[in-house]
Amino acid sequence: MPDRVLIIANALVTNARESLPKSLRQDNSPARELLVIAPMLTTRLQSFCSDIDGAHHAAEQRLRHIAADMSTFRTPPRTTIGDENQLHAVADALATFDADACVVVTHTREHANYHEHGVPEQIYEQFGLPTTTVTVDTRGRIVDHCTT
């Protein structure tokens, strides 16, 4: 696993320490830096009307759960709420966090927010970051993962 990993958390992973693919776990490796961004997942109407309060609150909740779940990691992550445009959120993060790789946690296609579609590929193309996609079901269980 790279030393500095940017995680885009569109969804929660249940019991991340145990359920993440081995290549993404910290286990007994040297300390790594993690930055977790919870993007605001607005609907198209909310985005059009700039109505982000509900999405902001949901992102805060997601970050609280993630921070609690990842508190057992050797190096607890830094967390922040990200822009609804996930490429903007990544650009903002990279301005102060020199990531070696990116992990995008996303919902299954039938439950994904429209902001989630194509993001991992776009991150790789636009920023040159090796990007792993972790897809979770509605219960936070990992159903697939792949690296771009």
Residue 22 confidence (pLDDT) above 80: no
pLDDT single digits (tens) 78-121 = 999 999 999 999 999 999 999 999 999 999 989 988 888 899 99
Q: How far apart are CA 39 and CA 36, in angstroms?
A: 10
pLDDT at 115: 85
Q: Which domain holds residue 83?
A: 4-147
Report the chain's mean pLDDT, rounded to a whole number.
87
CA angle 12, 15, 16 (to 5 degrees): 70
Nearest Cα to Cα of residue 27 among 38, 15, 18: 18
Domain count for the chain: 1
Q: How far is CA 98 from CA 65, 71, 91, 92, 111, in A?
A: 25, 22, 11, 11, 31
Q: How far apart are CA 68 and CA 103, in angstroms?
A: 19
Residue 67's pLDDT band, with cuts at 50, 70 and 90, is confident
Query: At residue 118, what is the residue type?
Result: G
Question: What are 144's two structure tokens?
Answer: 């697939």
pLDDT single digits (tens) 47-58 = 889 889 999 999
Residue 24 confidence (pLDDT) above 80: no
As beta bridge partners, residue 118 has: none
Q: Are 135 and 144 in contact (CB under 8 A)?
A: yes
CATH number at residue 140: 3.40.50.620
Nearest Cα to Cα of residue 80 among 68, 70, 69, 66: 66
**pTM score of the predicted model:** 0.87
Q: How far apart are CA 95 and CA 54, in angstroms?
A: 27
